[in-house]
Amino acid sequence: KADTSAEAIILDLEFDAELLADSAFRPESAIEDQLLFTIGHLNGDNAVGRLDKVKLTDVQTSRTEAGRTKISYHAVLQVAWRKRQGVPETYAFTLPIDVGYQAQKDFAEAYGHTCVDWGAHDVDSGSMWYYFRPHSSRCRLDEAHITKTEAAVSVSPVNTTGKYPEYDKIWADDLLTVVAVFGKYEDGATTASDAGVSAYNTFVAAMRRELPNAQTSPEGLPNNPGVEHPEVSITAELPDGRYVIVNALLVDNVRTAGAEFNARYAELSRTADLILYNGHAGLGANIRALASKGDWQPGQYSIVFLNGCDTYAYVDAALFQAHAAVNPDDPKGTKYVDVVTNAMPAFFREMSDTTLAMVRGLLAYDSPRTYEQIFKDIDSSQIVLVSGEEDNTFTPGAPDEPVDVQPWAGVSLEGELARGAQQRHETAVVPAGTYTFEMTGTGDADLYVRVGLAPTATEYDCRPYKGGSVEACTVELPAPSTLHVMVEGYAAQSTFTLVGKAQ
């Protein structure tokens, strides 16, 4: 298990494919060139694949009569898929057959105006794969230029649900430290007419409103700091004595930002709880560049949000490997970092609100939110998801000290409720595991389940939203905690029977 999302479900697409290449040297590289086209292909269906996770087997090479190298292979591709679309049984890929150097140039020239996304621009062989939309109504692909394959689709075992950021690690020092990096829309831009500069200004203003008693550095900061103040620090004391420090930085782009930015980013990353990059993914170049930067410290837990277009496709193991290198107790590299990405394009106009949503989520330490709950405040079109959260252990209501936790015998409740009336139940501390609650009855009663805290009409971990009184919830506990159940009458009169048990 490795990924959580409010909008996406992770699927495994398994298929056989073939291609033509210039040579048999490093056939995996030619396969990667072909699989790049799945990024644009899947984007057309509100999805994208995690290319660094693809599993290749049965790679075969041979020579054609025309002197080309033919490569065939079997692949399993991990795909983030918009869950509201439902899970298909199969998925049909249409991909370029020839990924040789000249063949890719010819393919882009032939189809770069018709078989691409409506917003495509300056399409060439280096970007055709990103914009590729073979199902476009304008697209007429020559059968000699493509190969077709049908993938078998299954729900991936990596899906997780109900995972929280590690609130206890974040707030162990009573301080939330945020680093928010904004890249410009156009390198060299100097005014707020640039969408990246505007997003930076908007975020700084939003944080000053969010933390009205905050101190800024530099002092006397104008409403729109822009390129005149490419780094701003905002420090605030919260009512309970905790602190927040937000460092916002503006750069042309993180790949070419230079030694001064690299040194400053390394310094800030050492103690950062939340790091966000907002800007162009650069077809993956900016994402890989930022992943190679930073100075990670033993035991320092961080959430890193790569908030650009299709970053789920571009992220690799670099951040996890860097954390594993400094944490001997974490050979996987996931214990001290969670990496948040987008399965679809992110828009500059949303980047300030997206960053603010993540900050607000971590400020909610009195009523902790799962990643899914935090992501619901982000534009759903981005299809945000987190990786590396599978070993997170924070659970609301978990005892501060070890306790003798006994297996749960389950619960059976029944009742009759008028409209607006509630019946509640709280368990003792139960072991980590999966728990189900199934309700039947008459009328219309609504089921709410929450981990560690009593549910309300707006705060819960599961609420099925179904008509009638037949509803069910499943929740996972990564650590021992309490479970809280509420049943509320919606119809004038409802009866219910509720059975809860450990799986």
* Predicted pLDDT at 1: 54
List, edge to edge, every strand of the sheet that includes 274-278.
Answer: 3-5, 384-387, 337-342, 302-307, 274-278, 175-183, 243-251, 231-237, 215-217
- State the Cα–Cα distance between residues 163 and 143, nearest whole angstrom: 46
* Predicted pLDDT at 400: 76
- State the Cα–Cα distance between residues 121 and 3, nearest whole angstrom: 32
**The CATH number of domain 167-391 is 3.40.30:** no
Q: Where in the chain is the domain with CATH 3.40.50?
A: 167-391
* pTM (2 d.p.): 0.89
Residue 420 has pLDDT above 90, yes or no: yes
- State the Cα–Cα distance between residues 286 and 184, nearest whole angstrom: 12
- In terms of phi and psi (left: phi > 0; alpha: psi -120 to 50; beta: otherwise), the region of 159 is beta
What is the tens place of the pLDDT at every residue in 87-113?
999 999 999 999 999 999 999 999 999
| CATH number, domain 411-502 | 2.60.120.380
Task: Establish whether the linkage from the previous residue to 218 is cis, with ω within 30° of 0.
Answer: yes
What is the tens place of the pLDDT at every residue in 442-463?
999 999 999 999 999 988 989 9
In the three-class reduction of DSSP (H, G, I as helix; E, B as strand; rest coil), residue 495 is classed as strand
- State the Cα–Cα distance between residues 29 and 122, nearest whole angstrom: 25
In percent, the amount of the chain with pLDDT more than 70 equals: 99
Residues 194/351, Cβ–Cβ less than 8 Å: no
Structure tokens at 456: 């309300």
Q: Where in the chain is the domain with CATH 2.60.120.380?
A: 411-502
What is the tens place of the pLDDT at every residue in 11-68?
999 999 999 999 999 999 999 999 999 999 999 999 999 999 999 999 999 999 999 9
In the three-class reduction of DSSP (H, G, I as helix; E, B as strand; rest coil), residue 269 is classed as helix
Measured in degrees and rounded to the nearest 5, phi and psi for residue 28 equal: -60, -30
What is the tens place of the pLDDT at every residue in 303-334?
999 999 999 999 999 999 999 999 999 999 99
Helices (H), 112-241: 128-131, 167-170, 195-210
Residue 402 has pLDDT above 80, yes or no: no
* Predicted pLDDT at 245: 99
